[in-house]
């Protein structure tokens, strides 16, 4: 059980777990004079050694979420068009009966699971969620990973030996940071946990370094950068290939001490030979001289790093982009070295294997034959698996902390599939655009009511640290924690009863063992028996413990068969050859011609992370949280569109209407729409989000558009049409 603490009048210190930044916060609670909810004030924790007083506006949402009257606080069962509160015993019995019936009638794979983004921000769910799907026995597991970051995991598996062996920029010590398809000022870093990123980037410039941004929009990050260059959406792979071409052409290859720890360097040069800067300039809209200049400046700087994120991952060549990001850093000597791309040393090590395991293509999706990765199938195919008749059709869906109707491609198609399912179970706190289709909703404690430790984001942190957040408030009476719900369901669905070790596990116990066995733990070395990390030591360190800057990890961190960085994995090289032979000639020809329509990109706002963040009034009322179609003024003038006018944006799969926002930050021919909006469906109970409204960009994203290599959804670079909505 969680041990809650009482902090009335005294500060409570914890980590905000609403995004990846891991900002330390100070929470004070004051009782209300009239018996209403207590007043909760949240400030930055200036003594947190990781965030050092940084905190974005989202942290204040923890207080609003705790007191939100729209949150469900007991199980709800749908009866016709109405919701009926039921007991936990009845809820558990209903789930067991329905899932066992479906498994017996159709097989285990007819029960699918979808894991939303907040799952990885939750200690209890991270520890126990896989146990539920193992107990069911299903291979039909999907998650937000394949609409976000799968290319990073793919490159990590084939280059370094494990999908979680993802390097991060040593942003605190670099003197030249080249950023592509990322907006860390708004995101606070993504797959790069780094609180206070704006100040950290400014510090690079202050010490005489450079920040160079390549993006189709002059983002918040680009505005404080030394340089910004527009690039055609979806063409990043060609820019990266041209960079690597220049590296070989100009004899800039210099892996340094990594030379003896890499495989395939000699095979790279002929692969990138066709991608000269002059060849790709028209494709990328970046001239050859600029590509050459950026490459040469990057190679000349001792402490430099190339970083690419969401805009690169969510395009048709996402896997190749992340492979090339790593490869360029490696061959130019900017990998596993201070100021370059490095591996963190987390207090709890998630990579437990001592050799590379097979984690790709062990099974395929039924309808389109898409390959599994790390136990999951691409979520872009989930609706097809539910709507296509035949053996193996998905008949039941379990969603955990997710709203895939708004967050996955062609959400309306999934919206059509949900009512056709025989049983839908949602572990969630709200009746939202997805859960409104559930047969049963199981709400669990969240935010300030639960213990927290960042198992995943410490693996991606730009500085090694550890901090445990003890639950501040107890949940409502008889309300089980998320891990208890998952554990109970797993126990009921397991064909064999779990052993006594499984029955007594708690998140705290698992965390304690992970800390003690980790690289800083009291059990990892005899000399650390009294001084090493344990949960008890973290409990005595409320601000967290600084474990120092990133350190060199190669070759000991590699678990490829030969303990070398594999630069030429067959899967990656074969895909590159395909685009060289089949795509490059056509693109060069097309680049000389004018194209109709617009290329779509996404947008991150610092006050808006996931769809459920719009339920927080303080954030949703912010002028910066707006669902608009951002367009270049020149494009708007050509189409007769004024700022604020309604426009219709359409694709192969649908059409949405939203206000136009004219901005010279936009590259001509590009349209920018944020994700997570579209709270306009009937039957939801999220009143603040409904007031925000907006349109769901995933009503026009195409479920057939994906990275052929990894299966990640391809949102960026989708061609759409735009026109003004006539005034009635």
Which of 272-281, 438-447, 510-519, 610-619 shows the lowest per-residue confidence on average (mean pLDDT)?
A: 610-619
Is pLDDT above 90 for 36?
no
For 131-144, what is the mean pLDDT?
Answer: 96
Is pLDDT above 90 for 596?
no
Identify whether the C-beta of residue 114 lies closer than 8 Å to the C-beta of residue 404: yes
* 3-state SS, residue 263: strand
What pTM, to 2 d.p., does this model score? 0.96
CATH topology of domain 1-154+344-405+438-506: Rossmann fold (3.40.50)
Rounded to a whole number of angstroms, the distance between the first and last alpha carbons of the chain is 59
Which burial class, exposed, middle or buried, applies to 527 when counting CB atoms under 10 A from its CB (0-12, 13-18, 19+)?
exposed
- Please confirm whether the linkage preceding 555 is cis (ω < 30° from 0): yes
For 377-389, what is the mean pLDDT?
Answer: 98
Which of 131-135, 495-499, 677-681 shows the lowest per-residue confidence on average (mean pLDDT)?
A: 495-499
Q: What is the spatial distance between Cα 595 and Cα 597, in angstroms, rounded to a whole number? A: 7
For 348-375, what is the mean pLDDT?
Answer: 93
What is the CATH code for 594-724? 2.40.40.20
Q: What is the spatial distance between Cα 260 and Cα 462, in angstroms, rounded to a whole number? A: 26
The CATH class that applies to domain 168-342+561-572 reads: alpha beta
Provide the b/e sequence for 643-666 (b: ≥16 CB within 10 Å).
eeeebbbbbebbebebbbbbbebb
pLDDT averaged over every residue in the chain:
93
Domains of the chain, residue spans = 1-154+344-405+438-506, 168-342+561-572, 594-724
Q: In whole angstroms, how far apart are CA 562 and each of 159, 464, 558, 566?
A: 11, 28, 9, 9
Identify whether the C-beta of residue 180 lies closer than 8 Å to the C-beta of residue 219: no
Each residue's pLDDT tens digit, 644-677: 999 999 999 999 999 999 999 999 999 999 999 9
For 51-63, what is the mean pLDDT?
Answer: 91
Q: What is the spatial distance between Cα 236 and Cα 231, in angstroms, rounded to a whole number? A: 7
Is pLDDT above 70 for 592?
no
Identify whether the C-beta of residue 456 lies closer than 8 Å to the C-beta of residue 350: yes
Q: Which of 124, 21, 50 is nearest to 449 (CA)?
A: 124
For 486-491, what is the mean pLDDT?
Answer: 95
Provide the b/e sequence for 142-156 (b: ≥16 CB within 10 Å).
bbbbbbbbbbbbbbb
| Residue 658 DSSP symbol | E
For 118-125, what is the mean pLDDT?
Answer: 92
pLDDT of residue 600: 98
Q: What is the spatial distance between Cα 212 and Cα 187, in angstroms, rounded to a whole number? A: 17
Is pLDDT above 80 for 6?
no
pLDDT of residue 500: 47
């Amino acid at each position: 059980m969680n041990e809650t603490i009482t902090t009335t009048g005294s500060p409570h210190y914890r980590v905000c777990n609403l995004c990846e930044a891991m900002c330390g916060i100070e929470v004070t609670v004051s009782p209300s004079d009239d018996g209403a909810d207590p007043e909760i004030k949240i400030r930055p924790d200036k003594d947190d050694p990781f965030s050092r007083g940084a905190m974005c506006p989202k942290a204040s949402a923890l207080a609003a979420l705790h007191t939100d009257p729209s949150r469900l606080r007991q199980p709800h069962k749908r009866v016709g068009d109405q919701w009926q509160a039921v007991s936990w015993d009845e809820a558990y019995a209903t789930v067991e009966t329905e899932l066992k019936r479906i498994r017996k009638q159709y097989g285990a794979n007819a029960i699918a699971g979808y894991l939303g983004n907040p799952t990885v921000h939750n200690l209890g769910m991270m520890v126990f969620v896989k146990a539920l799907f193992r107990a069911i026995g299903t291979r039909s597991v999907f998650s937000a990973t394949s609409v976000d970051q799968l290319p990073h995991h793919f490159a990590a598996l084939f280059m370094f030996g494990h999908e979680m062996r993802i390097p991060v920029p040593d942003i605190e010590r670099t003197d030249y940071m080249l950023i592509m398809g990322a907006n860390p000022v708004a995101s606070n870093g993504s797959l790069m946990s780094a609180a206070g990123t704006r100040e950290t980037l400014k510090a690079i410039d202050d010490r005489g370094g450079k920040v160079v941004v390549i993006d189709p929009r002059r983002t918040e990050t680009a505005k404080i950068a030394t340089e910004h260059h527009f690039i055609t959406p979806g063409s990043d792979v060609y820019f990266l290939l041209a960079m690597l071409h220049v590296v070989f052409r100009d004899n800039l290859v210099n892996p340094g001490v990594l030379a003896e720890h890499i495989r395939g360097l000699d095979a790279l040069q002929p692969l990138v030979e066709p991608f000269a800067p002059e060849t790709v300039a028209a494709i990328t809209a970046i001239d050859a001289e600029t590509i050459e200049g950026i490459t040469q400046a990057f190679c000349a700087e001792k402490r430099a790093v190339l970083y690419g994120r969401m805009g690169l991952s969510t395009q048709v060549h996402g896997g190749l982009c992340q492979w090339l990001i790593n490869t360029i850093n490696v061959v130019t000597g900017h990998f596993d070295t201070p100021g370059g791309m490095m591996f963190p040393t987390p207090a709890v090590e998630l990579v437990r294997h001592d050799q590379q395991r097979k984690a790709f293509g062990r099974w395929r999706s039924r309808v389109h034959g898409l390959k599994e990765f790390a136990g999951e199938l691409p979520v872009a195919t989930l609706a097809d698996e539910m709507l296509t008749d035949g053996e193996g059709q998905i008949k039941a869906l379990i969603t955990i902390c997710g709203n895939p109707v708004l967050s996955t491609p062609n959400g309306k198609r999934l919206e059509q599939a949900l009512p056709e399912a025989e049983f839908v179970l949602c572990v969630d706190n709200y009746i939202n655009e997805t859960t409104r289709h559930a047969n049963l909703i199981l709400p669990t404690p969240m935010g300030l009511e639960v213990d927290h430790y960042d198992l995943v984001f410490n693996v991606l942190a730009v500085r090694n640290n550890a901090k445990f957040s003890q639950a501040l408030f107890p949940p409502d009476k008889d309300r089980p924690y998320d891990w208890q719900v998952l554990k109970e369901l797993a126990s009921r669905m397991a064909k064999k009863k779990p052993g006594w070790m499984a029955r007594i596990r708690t998140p705290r116990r698992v965390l304690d063992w992970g800390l003690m066995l980790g690289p800083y733990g009291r059990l990892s070395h005899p000399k650390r028996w009294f001084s090493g990390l344990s949960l008890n030591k973290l409990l005595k360190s409320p601000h967290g413990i600084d474990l120092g800057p990133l350190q060199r990890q190669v070759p000991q961190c590699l678990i490829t068969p030969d303990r070398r960085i594999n630069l030429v994995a067959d899967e990656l090289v074969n895909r590159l050859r395909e685009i060289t032979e089949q795509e490059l000639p056509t693109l060069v020809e097309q680049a000389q011609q004018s194209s109709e329509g617009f290329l779509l990109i996404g947008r991150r706002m610092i006050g808006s992370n996931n769809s459920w963040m719009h339920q927080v009034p303080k954030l949703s009322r912010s002028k910066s949280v707006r669902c608009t179609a951002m367009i270049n003024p020149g494009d708007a003038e050509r189409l007769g569109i004024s700022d604020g006018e309604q426009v219709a944006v359409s694709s192969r799969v649908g059409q949405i209407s939203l206000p136009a926002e004219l901005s010279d930050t936009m590259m001509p021919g590009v349209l920018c729409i944020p994700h997570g909006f579209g709270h306009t469906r009937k039957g939801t109970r999220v009143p603040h989000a409904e007031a925000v409204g907006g349109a769901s960009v995933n009503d026009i994203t195409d479920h057939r558009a994906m990275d052929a290599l990894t299966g990640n959804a391809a949102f960026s670079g989708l061609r759409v049409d735009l026109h003004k909505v006539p005034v009635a």
